[in-house]
Amino acid sequence: MVELTGQKVLVLGLGMTGLSAARFCTERGARVVVADERPDVDARALPPGIEVRSGQAFPDPGDFDLVIPSPGIPHERYASKAKRAWGDIELAYRFLRIPVVAVTGTNGKSTTVRLIEAMLQAAELRARAAGNVGDPALDLVGQPLDVAILEVSSFQLEAVEAFRPKIGLLLNLSPDHLDRHGSVERYLAMKARLFARQEESDHAVLNQRDVRVRELAAGLRATVHAFDGEEPVERGASCDGTCFIWSDGDKHLRVPLPGGQPLREPLRSNALAAWLTACLLGADPVRALGALGGFRALPHRLERVALRDDVEWIDDSKATNPGAAVRALEGMARPTIWIAGGRDKGLPFEELADARLGRVKRVLLVGEAAASMARALGTRATCEQTGTLEAAVARAAELARPGDAILLAPACASFDQFASFEERGERFAQLVADLDTEGSP
C-alpha cells in the first residue's frame, strides 16, 4: 500500500477512470488536480477540494508526486517528466489485499471476465469484475471480496509497474491499436507486461491455439496452464465437444457441459479459459461450469437478434478488428452471409482472406473500408459493396434462404457511420426488426 496523504496528484482525463482515481486519492488525503484538454468536461460528480483544469494544455507532470493517466492518454505525453506514473490498475493493485485475476488479449476479454465472475460466484466465492469492463478497478478496494477480476487493455498495461496478478490470462493476440502503439511488436510487448512481475507461485493461463501466445510462454516465470478448444493439453483445460476436461499430467477430470450442448467458438475458448481460471482459484469444477447454463453473452458479442423464417441474424458489432471477425466466422455452423466494413483502423485485412470462409455465401461490405476489404478478400469470397448498413441488411434479406445465418462482424471501427460499436449493433437489430414490419400485411 502507498501513502497518499499530502501527496500532489495529477489525474489526466476526466472520464470514468479519471473520476474514480480523483475520488480515490482525495478520500485518502491527496491534493488532486484533474486535467482534461476538452473544454466542456462535466466535473459536477467530483468531490469538493479538487482543482479542475479543462480546455487547456496539461500541467507539467514533473510538478506532481504522482501522475495517474486515463487509458486514452498515450505514455509519451507524461512518462518522461513524471516522478511516478501509475494507471488506475497499478494503483488498485497496491491497495487490494485479495488475489487478482487479470485478463487481456485482443478479443473476448469482457465476455471472459464476466464468465469468470459468474463461475466463481456459482462456487460461492465473492468475486467481482472491473477494470476495462463495468466499474473502474479502484471501486473494488475495500469491498468484501475473495477475488478481484480485472479486464486489462494494452493501454492500461502501459502504466503498470509492480502489478503482479495471481492469475494472468492471455486469450489471443492479433494486430490492433497500431495507431497508438506504432507497431505489432510494441503492441505485443504491452500485452506481455501482464506477466512481467509474476513468479513461479503465480499462474499464467494461455491460449494453446494462438501461435503468438505460445511463443510468449517460453519466457514466463509463472506456472503455465494452457487451454485449447480442439486438442488435448498436458496441463490446463480442453474440450471434447460435450465435456470440459481439466488435465495435469496423468490426472484428468471430465465435466459435462450444461445440457450436454456443444459450444461454438469463440465462446468455447472463452469459457474454457474462464473455467480453468476458476478451478485454479479453488472453485468446485462442476459448480463453476454450471454457471454456463444461465450465462448470457454481452450485447453485440455474437448476439442473436432474430430468427426469421429459419434465418439467424447475429450481431457481433464488437468485432472491430480482423482477428475478432475471423473468430466469429470460424464459429459459424450455418451457411453465412457476412456483413463487414466500416472505418479502417490501419490493420492488415489479409487475416480475413486466410480465414476458413467455406461457409460464407456472400460478403456485403459497407463503409470507408469496403474497397480495401474487397481487394484483400480477392477471389476467396464473393463480395458486394453496398455502402450502408441499411442497404446491406436489405440485400442480406434478399439473399438469405432457410437454414442460413446473417452475421454482422465488421472487422472495422464504427466511426465512419456510427458513434460507437454499440450504436452500430443497435441499428442493425432495429433494421432486422423493421423487416418484420415491412413484410407484414
Q: Are 288 and 120 in contact (CB under 8 A)?
A: yes
Amino acid letter, 55:
G
Cα torsion 434, 386, 320, 295: sign: positive
Query: Is 238:202 a contact under the CB 8 Å cutoff?
Result: no
Sequence-distant (6+) residues with CB within 8 A of 72 are 13, 15, 155
Contact predicate 151/113, CB 8 Å: yes
**Nearest Cα to 12, choosing from 54, 48, 44?**
54
62/80 Cα distance (integer angstroms)? 9
Q: How many residues does the chain have?
A: 441
Of 115, 102, 106, 100, give the one whose Cα is nearest residue 274.
Answer: 115
Can the peptide bond before residue 61 be classed as cis, meaning omega within 30 degrees of 0? Answer: no
Q: In what order do the strands lie in the sheet with 360-366?
A: 303-308, 311-315, 405-408, 336-341, 360-366, 383-387
- The catalytic residues are 109, 132, 177
Nearest Cα neighbor of 183 from 175, 191, 194, 172 is 175
Residues 324 and 223: their CA atoms lie apart, in Å, by 28
CA distances to 89, 186, 266, 281 from 294, rounded to whole Å, are: 30, 39, 18, 21
Phi, psi of 166 (to 5 degrees): -65, -40
Kindly list the distances between the CA atom of residue 50 and the CA atoms of 8, 27, 71, in Å, as whole numbers in the listed order: 11, 11, 21
Name which of 396, 390, 378, 398 is nearest 428 in CA terms.
Answer: 390
Residues 147, 101: Cα–Cα separation, whole Å: 7
| Nearest-angstrom CA–CA distance, 57 and 269 | 44
DSSP helix/strand/coil, 246: strand
